[in-house]
Amino acid sequence: MIKVVVVGGGWSGCAAALSAAKAGAQVLLFERTDLLLGTGLVGGIFRNNGRYTAAEEAIAMGGGDLFVAMDANSRHRGVSFPGHQHASFYDVATMEPLVKKILQNYGVEIKTKTRIVDVVKYGKKLQGLMLDGGEVVKADAFVDSTGTAGPMGNCLTYGNGCAMCIIRCPSFGPRVSVTAKADIKEIMGRKDDGSIGAMSGSCKLNKDSLSKELKDKLDSDGVVVLEIPESIRKSGVLGKKACTQYALAEYARNLILLDTGHAKMMTPFFPLEDLRTIPGLERARYEDPYAGGIGNSMRYLGIAPCDQTLKVDGVDNLFCAGEKSAVLVGHTEAVATGLLSGHNAVRYCLDMQYLTLPNTLATGDFIEFVQAKMQTEDGMRVRYTFSGSIYFERMKELALYSTSRSEVKDRVAQTGLTDVYNGCLV
Ligand SMILES: Cc1cc2nc3c(=O)[nH]c(=O)nc-3n(C[C@H](O)[C@H](O)[C@H](O)COP(=O)(O)OP(=O)(O)OC[C@H]3O[C@@H](n4cnc5c(N)ncnc54)[C@H](O)[C@@H]3O)c2cc1C
């Protein structure tokens, strides 16, 4: 039986493990912390703007299990908030066990609290990976889905220091990139001003620390918009954000709270003493990152060079997914690339032609467009997403954006890729 090892259990790694298992491989998924989902443990927004189309494409291609689980576990659906339509918010507190169960049902072996620290490479091929205990695990193909968040040294150097985020570097050890360990030079994303990395764009407040009125409104509507008094508005924060789809003027003038289980606050950080001067937030307390008053995690500090099949340049049997594969942002984007990389890892093992998604699909066009943009200096200062910024504009211009399930299904059928992720290749 062919064996695929996936490193990193965020949304992209979970999707890669799923598609590789569906394609018939024996799959082993390593995650350094005690939980899957990575930064998805504190996210929650999906199906907003063009992410709706991308989710439907994945479903039509037979890789929809994770979106179906998010849908089933949503606290709110069809929510509008500034710049965003028809968003759903999955419950961040209860999502992880559901995803774990799905992967286990497909036979994926999940090893949490296991960190990959090195690779065994021969020529242009990876032979195995070294775990932090020194054991070497061999496989036929590998997926690097280790993300780009942290570790602490990067947050200290490029951000405001460790803000104690969900990545939990001090507890589980720093993120280690398989690609970097394979001696491949990684690419770094940049902020608007050209400085390195980008700061995660939201923090979460404990809902019980809000006033009863705010909490009730958040529970019923899913969204609350609070005007920030001019004296405590933060200038320059928007340009630092990882999520350029929220870098709109409304987000500088207002605090936008979304109900993902926590009160997700759409700003990278906000000094606690200022926050508590806003009516309804007098008792506010951060839930993620714990020091959300001073900063947030830094990301995009280690991206693998790869092509549209998501094979890493310079290594024959290494694929990449999610933030590791491009300056992209989002759970949907992570799942869409994860599905392709896990599937292509199996095709590598079977000596089959790799799957490239055509640009008549939003996902195919997205991967091609972002890869091209990343060749330019300016292109590295943008984070790409189906949900906003320049890529959503392009989706609309090219008529790739659709919220019609049947239309997306037909489009996928026209490419001949219906259920492509469901078929066993072995
Ligand atoms: C605070 C915050 C809020 C966000 N909110 C949203 C949102 O609402 N909606 C949205 O669409 N997107 C959101 N995002 C962005 C989104 O979460 C990410 O873009 C996407 O989920 C990235 O997934 P990934 O799998 O590529 O990486 P990650 O989520 O970073 O996962 C990488 C995983 O790899 C593991 N790992 C790293 N190194 C190793 C190793 N050597 N061995 C084993 N395991 C390793 C890590 O522990 C981690 O679990 C948010 C991000 C943050 C930080």
Residues 43 and 185 in one domain: yes
**Cis preceding linkage at 151, omega within 30:** yes
Q: With a 6 A CB cut-off, is 33 part of the ligand 1 pocket?
A: yes
Alpha carbon distance 406, 11 (integer Å): 26
- Examine residue 419 and state whether it is found in any structural domain, yes or no: no
Share of residues in the chain with pLDDT > 90 (%):
92
For range 310-330, the mean pLDDT: 98
16 confidence band (pLDDT: 50, 70, 90): very high
pLDDT grade for 239, boundaries at 50, 70 and 90: low
324-351 residue pLDDT tens: 999 999 999 999 999 999 999 999 999 9
The band of 240, judged by pLDDT with boundaries at 50, 70 and 90, is: low
Residue 74: per-residue pLDDT: 98
Pocket test for ligand 1, best of 6, 39, 165 (most atoms within 8 A of CB): 39
Within-domain flag for 351: yes
pLDDT for 192 equals 79
Q: Give the integer Cα–Cα distance in Å for 154 and 158.
A: 6
Give the closest residue (by CA) to ligand 1 atom 42.
Answer: 115
Decide if 425 is inside a domain: no
Mean pLDDT across the stretch 373-386?
Answer: 93
Residues 6+ apart with CB under 8 A from 406: none
In a domain, 183, yes or no: yes
Residue that finishes a domain, picked among 259, 288, 317 = 288
Last residue of a domain, one of 258, 288, 318: 288
Statement to judge: residues 128 and 170 lie in one domain: yes
Tell me, in angstroms, the distance from the centre of ligand 1 to residue 242's CA. 12
d(CA 346, CA 323): 21
Residues 260 and 401 in one domain: no
Q: Average of pLDDT values for 244-257?
A: 81
- Residue 21 has a pLDDT of 98
Helical ranges in 48-135 per DSSP H: 51-60, 65-72, 95-105
Q: Is the domain of 365 the same as that of 237?
A: no
Strand partners, 298: 199
> Is 420 part of any domain?
no
Q: Give the pLDDT band of residue 238 (cuts 50, 70, 90).
A: low
In this structure, the answer to whether residues 111 and 167 fall within a common structural domain is yes
Find, among 315, 414, 324, 318, the residue nearest to 370 by Cα: 324
Check whether residue 230 and residue 179 sit in a common domain: no
Choice between 231 and 361, residue whose per-residue pLDDT is larger: 361
**Ligand 1 mean position to 323 CA, how many Å?**
8
Instruction: Give the pLDDT band of residue 128 (cuts 50, 70, 90).
Output: very high
Question: What integer pLDDT is reported at residue 13 of this predicted model?
Answer: 98
pLDDT value at 268 more than 90 = yes
The domain containing residue 275 runs over which residues? 198-288
Residues 388/238, Cβ–Cβ less than 8 Å: no
Is the domain of 112 the same as that of 261? no
Q: Are residues 206 and 352 in the same domain?
A: no
Q: Is the model's pLDDT at 224 over the cut of 90? A: yes
pLDDT at 290 (0 to 100): 97
> Is residue 127 located within the same domain as residue 38?
yes
Does the pLDDT value for residue 276 go beyond 70?
yes
- Nearest alpha carbon, ligand 1 atom 48: 38
- Domain-embedded: residue 156: yes
What's CA 265's distance to the chain center, in Å? 18
- For position 191, what pLDDT does the model report? 83
Atom of ligand 1 nearest to the CA of 322: 26
> 284 and 207: one domain?
yes
In which band, very low, low, confident or very high, does the pLDDT at 1 lie, cut at 50, 70 and 90? very high
Burial (CB < 10 A; 0-12, 13-18, 19+), residue 32, is buried
CB atoms inside a 10 Å sphere around CB 11: 34
- Residue ending a domain, among 266, 288, 310, is 288
Q: Are residues 370 and 255 in the same domain?
A: no
Q: Which residue has the CA at smallest separation from atom 11 of ligand 1?
A: 330
Query: What is the average pLDDT value for the chain, to the nearest integer?
Result: 95
Q: Count the domains in the chain.
A: 2
Average of per-residue pLDDT across 400-416: 98
How much is the average pLDDT of 402-414? Answer: 98
